[in-house]
Structure 1
């Protein structure tokens, strides 16, 4: 058994040895290897007001890393930084268009168009084209960007014009209205024209030019005019798009999505039959007016005798007073765009008025008040009235 005084001696001996070791060897230390600083960082930042807009930023820890890009063209910048749809197996996806900027130690890219919800995007930074020194251990960087779908209903096709189901065999275009803006660019794979009578698809029926309303909710879908004009190359090579007497169906693929990312979800179609070709111009003098009573807001009704262009009927027809002032009001179309109605904002007053039509107003085959869509000079008679001289109908509101 160790006695108390021996314990005290032993404790002092250990303390002495510890002091001696510290003096000889120093305090023990833990050595940490410093983490190397990466020369570049890649980040994608969403616009706080609209996540469909973003900014891709590569930050360098030395501004001179961007010196080789000061006078670089678009192709060189694309080699260094690209932003595109996330690649799927076997796909070769081109980089998105946009604007590059160099700000001190930052290389920025801003996409030219809003992104699509529900779609994944990828930014890739490749330092190799910068030709940096071997001491700069830069590596390829990647970042993903995703905009979740909002909790919204899928888009809908509200209407397709002409609304009628009998169209001339030389019909030219459709107006398709949607409940919300649709995705644009390369849309024609979503459209097809089926000949129900012959049980086959009509080849190459559409003119591949996208014509959208400013709000992105109305598309003008053209049949190719070269197929609809007799004697033109495409008409000779491929034949007319529509044949008189045949039944057709215009189809829209349910996979087409709106800007919100939601697809239509259900097929959309417009059945119609092709009737005889229409080569006659609209003549204003043939229209029939039903004049309302003074002091009422009942509509002025114009029977056009045939369906005319839906958009132009709303844009190219107006009511004027005898002095030329525009009468404000609302336009309504009926009987498959063959009847035009005008409801004034204020009750009709006694006086003389004019219903004025612009000469570009046309029928479903493109024959306008000014000229027919296809002119055969050998058949044109010299005594054919000049339609441009008959652009208005006069009427009077009496007591």
Structure 2
């Protein structure tokens, strides 16, 4: 075997595991006739392209290489003969994804609009309606439970699961014909298929099952006057805590509340309770004595889509009053 053949290597990539790279000895041109790759003992080489970049020659297969499979790489020597080396492609170990739900424990108003699935790894997209099933207590499937809109966080790990608004909003055709997705006072079962894979190709491997209980429908706006604020002591970095009287949208809570002092937003980190009923602000520096204010985005919603500006459903005969407060004051002592 030619000495320079020891420079062969397989390049493993989670996005495209289909490359064989050769440290160029100098005589190879960027054409398929100088380098070819075979699977196992097959006679016909793989389809692919050969590109020479600097000191490297890169063969990119038309289809991904198979983990654990042997490949034979052949390169034409300067004298026209072929030299070969057998390699085994090993995919980098990828983590098995897991999934959780928020808010949790999951008790939703019967007219809830959404909940969130949180995955430990970026997941394959475009398949969620095939991977999620909602069942009633008798085991029957709730058909058409979810809106087809697929909304992922930028990192591909959080899916906003929309309960179909056409069924959740009173008086709409689907609501009249098929009723609410969730039945008040009943428990439902949300199942996540074991076959749902991460973008690395690794499946959950085990069906995930969550209980979703439905309470009374909620048509009231969130009201900051009913919130409880726990104020930390001066000189500490203890969190400023708000306890809500109902769960609020977990994703919106991450950015909907701002802590200001003297008109300036102060730096810090935000955390939330898993039940979406509590919010914490941890300052970057210890608290100094004096007043402060928590400014609230009026678009902050509860689980039924009601926000500080008004309810999701507007009843012209019995209008619901919007929340009057847009900020909560506190004093550090």
**TM superposition score normalised by structure 2:** 0.73
Match of 1:221 among 161, 164, 189: 161
SS at match of 2:252: helix
Aligned Cα root-mean-square deviation (Å): 2.9
- 1:354 maps to 293
For residue 326 of structure 1, report the CA deviation from its aligned partner. 1.2
The one-character-per-residue Cα deviations of 1:192-217 (angstroms, maximum 9, x if unpaired) are: 00101x33111110111111111111
| Distance in 1 of aligned mates of 2:300 and 2:121 | 28
- Given that 1:294 and 1:350 are in contact with CA atoms closer than 8 Å, whether structure 2 keeps it comes out as yes
Match of 1:186 among 113, 123, 127: 127
| Distance in 1 of aligned mates of 2:161 and 2:173 | 21
Q: Does 1:250 align with 2:250?
A: no
The one-character-per-residue Cα deviations of 1:256-314 (angstroms, maximum 9, x if unpaired) are: 11111111000101102111101111012221211111111111111211111111111
- 2:38 maps to none
SS at match of 1:200: coil
Change (3 A) 1:366 1:148: farther
Unaligned runs of 5+ in 1: 1-46, 61-110, 119-146
For residue 356 of structure 1, report the CA deviation from its aligned partner. 1.1
- 1:212 maps to 152
| Distance in 1 of aligned mates of 2:301 and 2:14 | 42
Q: Does 1:373 align with 2:308?
A: no
SS at match of 2:182: coil
Q: How many residues align?
A: 268
Match of 1:302 among 242, 251, 255: 242
Runs of 4+ with >6 A deviation: 115-118
- Given that 2:260 and 2:292 are in contact with CA atoms closer than 8 Å, whether structure 1 keeps it comes out as yes
| Distance in 2 of aligned mates of 1:284 and 1:116 | 57
Please show how residues 308-323 of structure 1 align to structure 2 within 5 Å: 308-322=248-262
Q: Which has the higher helix share?
A: 1
- 1:153 maps to 95
Q: Does 1:268 align with 2:208?
A: yes
| Distance in 2 of aligned mates of 1:199 and 1:187 | 20
| Distance in 1 of aligned mates of 2:203 and 2:65 | 12
Question: Which is higher, the Rg of structure 1 or of structure 2?
Answer: 1
Instruction: Report which structure shows greater RCO (CA 8 Å, sep ≥6).
Output: 2
| Distance in 1 of aligned mates of 2:143 and 2:304 | 20
**TM superposition score normalised by structure 1:** 0.62
| Distance in 1 of aligned mates of 2:150 and 2:170 | 24
- 2:325 maps to 390
SS at match of 1:201: coil
For residue 252 of structure 1, report the CA deviation from its aligned partner. 0.3
The one-character-per-residue Cα deviations of 1:50-98 (angstroms, maximum 9, x if unpaired) are: 4634999xx99xxxxxxxxxxxxxxxxxxxxxxxxxxxxxxxxxxxxxx
For residue 247 of structure 1, report the CA deviation from its aligned partner. 1.1
Unaligned runs of 5+ in 2: 1-9, 20-30, 33-61, 68-88
- Given that 1:116 and 1:260 are in contact with CA atoms closer than 8 Å, whether structure 2 keeps it comes out as no
- Given that 1:149 and 1:262 are in contact with CA atoms closer than 8 Å, whether structure 2 keeps it comes out as no
- Given that 1:366 and 1:372 are in contact with CA atoms closer than 8 Å, whether structure 2 keeps it comes out as yes
Change (3 A) 1:281 1:262: same
- 1:286 maps to 226
| Distance in 1 of aligned mates of 2:207 and 2:16 | 30
SS at match of 2:328: strand
